[in-house]
Structure 1
């Protein structure tokens, strides 16, 4: 099956002047930026689901890709053929990590026993591939949303037997992630929400979700998994309302159940924009709450109101987000997963490489831009000056709790001053970003 990519040579770095469409122009894995290699900064991962599982279907038509491992029965032979193709792709692209859902890599299963047996069979094969090829697992996750049993949610389902099946999948996939040396585990609550509030006990469902997440954290410690657990926020995909709609909502949920020091977030730009937020907003909110973990890099289409999962190509947006990622300390266990798929009309093997090459080059350029911004850091200098009043005097007393409301109010009366508005210099700072993008 690896013959599918035989006509494509390993992707090399050739520099910005190269006219080779199947070469990196900016992503130079060993290039040092701020004392670390690009590879170590970005920790790029290819996703299994969009890259190897999706056959190009949409709600109006069937698959268009016709890759050799698509079609027919999803049995063990098909799972192994897809695995061969995936690691051949990883070898040629040269990214250091990959990610998967349990059902992405295994043969189809219906019953709990079938699920456990099928996953176990393929994990033996995946472990051997990792050892032979060197591409490591960034994170794993259980697909608790695609099967009809999850039409009303997984952990939030009205039927506890459905939640039990979801628990089985999470346990087995977390065990597999631990065994394969994964850096993290993602809980993607694809249907943890509601389509109509008329048939939903919201308080009950949030209690179920909080308990389910707590059990997952307890299991992590039980098996000795040292990686992180991340929730992936989303506003309404595919339900009308999600309980994890954005980073701020997730943090409030974690605080409610005492999990804010146990669980972080895996942020997706397209989910951020669907929630009415910018990508950089979600990154900086995660930094502020101390829960930043990993990124599903992609983009949506501004003319579509749903999650199109396209490869990222907005250098300004990505530069700004990368600035905040670096300012927050960069990736630790997390990384840059491309939760993106080529378009239905991009049906050649080479198109899979074009999408990833473009994304990796974009991240490399954004990394270099962000590093250059941090070297002088005019943004930080401006903010430091703007908030200087809070570092001493009355401002410092307010923040430390040394001043009461009466004392602060009396200060205003005794000084009897009317503070003049001070410019926020938005246009100047926007110009600074524009000039930094190269």
Structure 2
């Protein structure tokens, strides 16, 4: 059998990064959209949150669909949906047009992302699984950071429509590459490939997922992480603009704060592979997020460099949490045919956390007249996350697994 040019599991991760580019493509384009289509600040907020709305309402349903429809086929459909929505978006004539297409992109993102952990599990040997799932956990921050960094350059060259069309072409090419590089189940061979588990009817899978402890624990933990991460990273531009830092520098600082999250994601996979317990990584991530937020918003208020170091620490070490939770989702799912459903439930709660976290932080900042108590909100989320980590360790023991 001819050896593929690239590891199929790595190709799955690249497809996820390509899908996540559509999340990061919007923020740099907002000034151009305001000038070209008259997008208001309120409409811009809805454009930014529309992808999360799709995840918050459809995560579980798309996870169920992916298990039944086929993992590879679901990813291809998701990439195709993103490509079509982005291509049509280049011809949008109003903010309402973009809102509808943004909702379609959110649906495409879910179809492309939710089957990936199960597909990776089928494509790699158990010895590499934790490392590859840790790498998968970085798909969203990497795609978003690439969008934030590359967007301004492409927008200055070809405008917002060219940016939309360029990403449509890139995503379509990624779909073709995935179709050629990841064979269907029937064409897979070799010791690294697991035979897919027969899929039971969706009502049974839904009942199994929602009545088991494991899916709830990983889902709520992801909500505790995502709510505080987006609240801090999302408000960085506002915080630094208020501090008198220039607009170009703000974009670079925010992109870097998002990008260092990748280090924690990748590192978590390596550490799990070397035998560190998931509970330990979750504790370290949640405690460090609290300390980083405390340093950024309370202890170093008059020292901008130290404050930014706190933000970097918050994002980088906190990045160990999603990588660890993706690994735990595979292990705590009720069965092999419910992994995508479990990841969908986790995605749904992650989106709910991202939807609720920023308004809560903004409400506290408005009530106290500044950002100095942001750490208290993030600390409360981390405390709950720590308790959930303890419960997940017990759930692994109940399931008869040892913590590696």
Give TM-score, length-normalised by structure 1.
0.25
Which gives a bigger RCO, structure 1 or 2 (Cα 8 Å, sep 6+)? 2
TM-score in terms of structure 2 length: 0.26
**Which one has the bigger strand percentage?**
1
Q: Of Structure 1 and Structure 2, which has the larger fraction of its residues in helix?
A: 2
Larger radius of gyration: 1
